[in-house]
Amino acid sequence: MRPRLVLLSARLLDPVTGQALPETALAASGGRITALGDDREIRALADASTTVIDLKGAVVIPGLVDGHLHPVSGAELTQGLDLSGCADLDAVRTALAREARTLAPGAWLRGWGLDPNVFGDRPVEAAALSPVLDGIPAFLQLFDAHSALASARALELAGVDGPRTFAQAAEVVCDETGRPTGLLLEEGACELVERAAPQPTRDEHRALLAAALRRMAASGLTGGHAMDANGESLALLSALDEDGELPLRLRVAPWCRPGTDAEGLRALVAQQGTGGALWHVAGVKLFMDGTIDNGTAWLERPDCHGESTHAFWPDPEAYTAVIGELHRAGVPTATHAIGDAAVRHALDAVGKARASGTAGDRAAVRHRIEHIETVPDDALPRFAELGVVASMQPTHCCDFTRADHTDNWSRRLGEERASRAWRCRDLWDAGATVVLGSDWPIAPFPPLTVMAGARHRRPSRDLAQPPHGPGQALTAAEALRAMTVAPAYAAGEEHEAGRLAVGHRADLTVLADDPLAVPATDLAGLPVLLTVVDGRPTHRAPSL
């Protein structure tokens, strides 16, 4: 069979050794790499049906994979007003006022990426924004997507006029008189207002998703571990896949919420392996806590406000039982655990599940913990001991905290715990498999930005600022492995992904220069020349 794609005059980079391979060209057919060699012998394999691209010395690496992102929900969420660039309240008010002037009467104003640090020492509440939102129904997601601010008119339309009781950790924050302040914590509370707002049609949502995925492909992403399989997510992915419009390979984990019964667990197990050509269900996503910034993380000691003392699961032992059931069914889990108590409990649950399994199940069922924003010393070696993958998003540390610990996240935790922020280096050195991701739409998805952040740990908007915890930085080679080799291992696909080798998937990212030689502060700007998924170009720069 003649190759479908041939790449010539390339520098082929092995992420395991960090060295260039001796070959200068590759061929791909049937979605796999079929040959590596010099230009002459690989060119001879092509015929008139082959796409032949001269890379002119560009660098080919295994396709970059985002270890944690939310493409479907993110595509919808990010269509509102982007507030992520607002550094203070005046900037937020100015942006909201500008957007409000464009709205039709009665229309909703939606925003996202609001940083709680803009409120400084004052409470995070809608009153601070009421001068520009008077009479306007507004729903503003905070950057963590676990909390939101709703204007007085939005609360009125949603019928939210006081505190509510939820089956899982969530809160309509109220003042001393019982009136909502506008701050909504966690999914249950946010949904009360969000569902009162107009929703995009399925066709509109599909178009938003397709556009977002194309942007991801252009950034060099060839795949992602998607942590949203709710609502119509799978139907949308299936429709794009069937029409040949899915430019990323996606591994999707549906959610398991507190209260899921035996029938619900059986349904999650039955869902495993379903999918299409470029997407499939693999694993289950669970939440052990919320976030530090809004006081819903689960900490071993309360934060400075006396908050973050409870698990997301009202009964943490019910979570432990679910992990055990899924483990016995051979289903890998991915647990959102940000606070130290949440991380410890998730590790304990996996340890208990493994103790009841067979000697070889560590490799067979690869559980993960997501985020791990603060973790004590004694928990570090347990990741390697239990075979738990550490899935981390260093750009959250870069962009939402500060080196001097004056940010909301650090102030809540205090100096001792803030100094243990995003311990990528310590986890790596303790033998854990560290996977990097963006958590988009919480942070930007371009993978070079994620890799750069893992190396420099500085605010992406101002790289002249000092790094937060520079001792926790990864090297260039480690950051590259954490977005190629490590995601393949976490997915149990190391035999067919993450390397440039014959028989491996033809998922490739082509860069203008060697990412291991480019300084960390310049890496985000390195041009992506070509992205290939399943042997098919999904992005091609005009220069090629």
User: Is there a contact between 337 and 391 (Cβ–Cβ < 8 Å)?
Assistant: no
Q: What is the largest CA-CA distance in the chain?
A: 79
Bridge partners (DSSP) listed for residue 309: 298
Gap between the terminal Cα atoms of the chain: 25
* pLDDT (0 to 100) of residue 64: 98
Residue 357 clears pLDDT 70, i.e. is over it: no
Q: Could you give the 3-state DSSP secondary structure of residue 141?
A: strand
d(CA 282, CA 95): 40
Give me Rg for the CA atoms of the chain.
23
pLDDT tens by residue, 137-193: 999 998 888 889 999 999 999 999 988 988 878 899 999 999 999 899 988 899 999
Positive or negative: CA dihedral 70, 73, 75, 79: negative
Structure tokens belonging to residue 124: 């995070």
Q: For residue 21, name the pLDDT band (cuts at 50, 70, 90).
A: very high
* pLDDT (0 to 100) of residue 145: 80
The three-state (H, E, C) secondary structure of 209-242, written as one string: HHHHHHHHHHCCEEEEEECCCCCCHHHHHHHHHH
* pLDDT (0 to 100) of residue 368: 98
DSSP letter at 356 equals T
Positive or negative: CA dihedral 502, 504, 507, 509: negative
Structure tokens belonging to residue 363: 């490799």
CA-nearest of 198, 80, 199 to 149 is: 80
Q: Could you give the 3-state DSSP secondary structure of residue 185?
A: strand
Of the candidate ranges 341-350, 360-369, 411-420, 492-501, the one whose mean pLDDT is the lowest: 360-369
d(CA 458, CA 451): 12
**What does the pLDDT average to over 244-270?**
96
d(CA 344, CA 338): 10
Omega before 441 within 30 of 0, i.e. cis: yes
User: Is there a contact between 460 and 449 (Cβ–Cβ < 8 Å)?
Assistant: yes
d(CA 354, CA 332): 12
Please name the residue that has the structure tokens 């954490």: 482
Percent of the chain with pLDDT over 70: 99
Q: Could you give the 3-state DSSP secondary structure of residue 15?
A: coil
Which segments of 321-371 are extended strands (E)? 333-337, 368-371
d(CA 124, CA 525): 34
Structure tokens belonging to residue 454: 């893992």
Taking CA 141 as the corner, what is the angle to CA 339 and CA 442, rounded to the nearest 5 degrees?
Answer: 55
Please enumerate in sequence order all residues whose Cβ is within 8 A of that of 477, keeping only pairs 6 or more positions apart, or say none.
15, 18, 516
pTM > 0.95: no
Q: For residue 366, name the pLDDT band (cuts at 50, 70, 90).
A: very high
Structure tokens belonging to residue 96: 């909201």
d(CA 250, CA 278): 6
**What does the pLDDT average to over 37-56?**
96
pLDDT tens by residue, 113-127: 898 888 888 888 988
Residue 361 clears pLDDT 90, i.e. is over it: no
